[in-house]
Amino acid sequence: MFPFNFEWIWDAGHIVFHGGLWYALTILGLGITYCIIKAALDAAKGKGSQHH
């Protein structure tokens, strides 16, 4: 799972597999953190408190 793992070998299989995996996970991570931070900022700015 990580390069410091015991079985980690820098071969094509690992790079392709973990490459795609970490690529997807980073997108999700970034997306979520973006939403949370923006939501926190908007809440601080008072947006979203009126009930529509």
Partner 1 sequence: MDSALIPKGVKRCPAWQFIMWIGANGAVLTWGVFALLLVYFKGLNQTNMNNAYGFALWIWADLAVIALGGGAFFTGFLRYIVGKDELKNIINYAVLIGFICYSSALMILGFDIGQPLRGWFIFWHANVHSMLTEVAFCLTAYFGVLAIEYAPLVFENRMIKKVPFFHNLSHNMHEIMAVFAATGAFLSFFHQGSLGGVPGVLFGRPFGFREGVLVWPWTFFLFTWSAAAAGPCFTILITKITEAVTRKKLVKDNVIDLLAKISGWMLFFYIIAKIGDTLYWANVTAPSKGSTFMDFYTSSSGSAYGLWILFAEIGVCGVLPALILIIPKLRKTQATLWLAVILAVIGLCLNRWVMVLQVLAIPVLTFESWFTYFPSWQEIATTILPVAYGVIMISTSYRYLPIFPQERELNPIDEPAAPPEVAESEPEPTDAGPEPELSPAES
Q: Which residues bind partner 1 (CB under 8 A)?
A: 1, 5-7, 13-14, 16-18, 20-21, 24-25, 27-28, 31-32, 34-36, 38-40, 42-43, 46-49, 51
Query: Please, what is the minimum distance in Å from the beta carbon of residue 36 to partner 1?
Result: 7
CB 14 within 8 A of CB 8: yes
Query: Please, what is the minimum distance in Å from the beta carbon of residue 40 to partner 1?
Result: 6
Query: Please, what is the minimum distance in Å from the beta carbon of residue 16 to partner 1?
Result: 8
DSSP letters, 13-48, are HHHHHHHHHHHHHHHHHHHHHHHHHHHHHHHHTTTT
